[in-house]
Amino acid sequence: MRKPMIAGNWKMYKTAGQAVFIVQDLAELIKDVKDVEVIVCPSYIALKSVSTVIEMDKLNMGLGAQNVYWEEEGAFTGEVSPMMLKDLRVDYVIVGHSERRHIFGETNEMVNKKLKAVLAHDMKPILCVGETKEEREEERTDEVIKEQLFGNLAEVSLRDIRKVVIAYEPVWAIGTGLTASSEDANDIIQNIRALIESLYGSEVAEDIRILYGGSVKPENITELMEEQEIDGALVGGASLDAQSFAKIVKYQSAEE
């Protein structure tokens, strides 16, 4: 059984103080939720404060970072190493987010280096893949996702792949209010599972968690989660407010 995961990506929003407030409010709102893994991914600047509050108050959630550099240490001004994240008790690191790929020019090779560095430091990558609007219109979705997956997972062992979470995030659906239909998202996630099977076999494919991301909101989460292949969500905008994020986490009780 794949445990559902709901992860909030706060992008470049919220100061450290604001992040702590949301985490505390969120923890109160979701305190009875047991069967969903909840992850918050604040900015680097807020990681320490959020990590401390999660630890001290024994909150029901894990900590994620939004990015990492692959080197252990060195003259890389402005970068943050996996060792530094591990030291802050970070559990998950998002790699390959479309904003990193498209705004900051990250290639499949760079994403692969980051992913391997996260694994080498005993943290778990959330690997984002997805096509742009143009690629979708040119019917290249499957090809693009295959290229990303194969490139990003190069040299990842059968043992390590079990720690990877994949997020299918169509670029045209991120922050736009447009969502892939739940059937469409399910179909593409099924294809991703088939690609994982071709690389690592059916047992891994059956166990690996694949999330959907792109304008997930309290209003559409239930429908998405009803789909067989969708194991959770990576949520941007709607995770910035504790009430709306909590509603997404509690998708099983949609009437609330």
Q: What is the binding site for ligand PGA (CB under 6 A)?
A: 9, 169, 174-175, 213-216, 234-238
Residue in 97, 99, 106, 227 annotated catalytic? 97
Nearer to ligand PGA, 33 or 128 (CB): 128
Closest residue by Cα to residue 43 from 4, 99, 3, 5: 99
Distance CA 208, CA 230 (A): 11
Let me know if 97 is a catalytic residue: yes
What's the chain look like in SS3? CCCCEEEEECCCCCCHHHHHHHHHHHHHHCCCCCCCEEEEECCHHHHHHHHHHHHHCCCCCEEEECCCCCCCCCCCCCCCCHHHHHHCCCCEEEECCHHHHHHCCCCHHHHHHHHHHHHHCCCEEEEEECCCHHHHHCCCHHHHHHHHHHHHCCCCCCCHHHHCEEEECCHHHCCCCCCCCHHHHHHHHHHHHHHHHHHHCHHHHHHCEEEEECCCCCCCHHHHHHCCCCCEEEECHHHCCHHHHHHHHCHHHCCC
Nearer to ligand PGA, 65 or 205 (CB): 65
Angle between helical axes of 16-29 and 242-249 (0-180°, round to 10): 40
Residue in 106, 131, 135, 169 annotated catalytic? 169
Closest approach of ligand PGA to the CB of residue 175, in Å: 4
Closest approach of ligand PGA to the CB of residue 167, in Å: 7
Catalytic residues: 97, 169
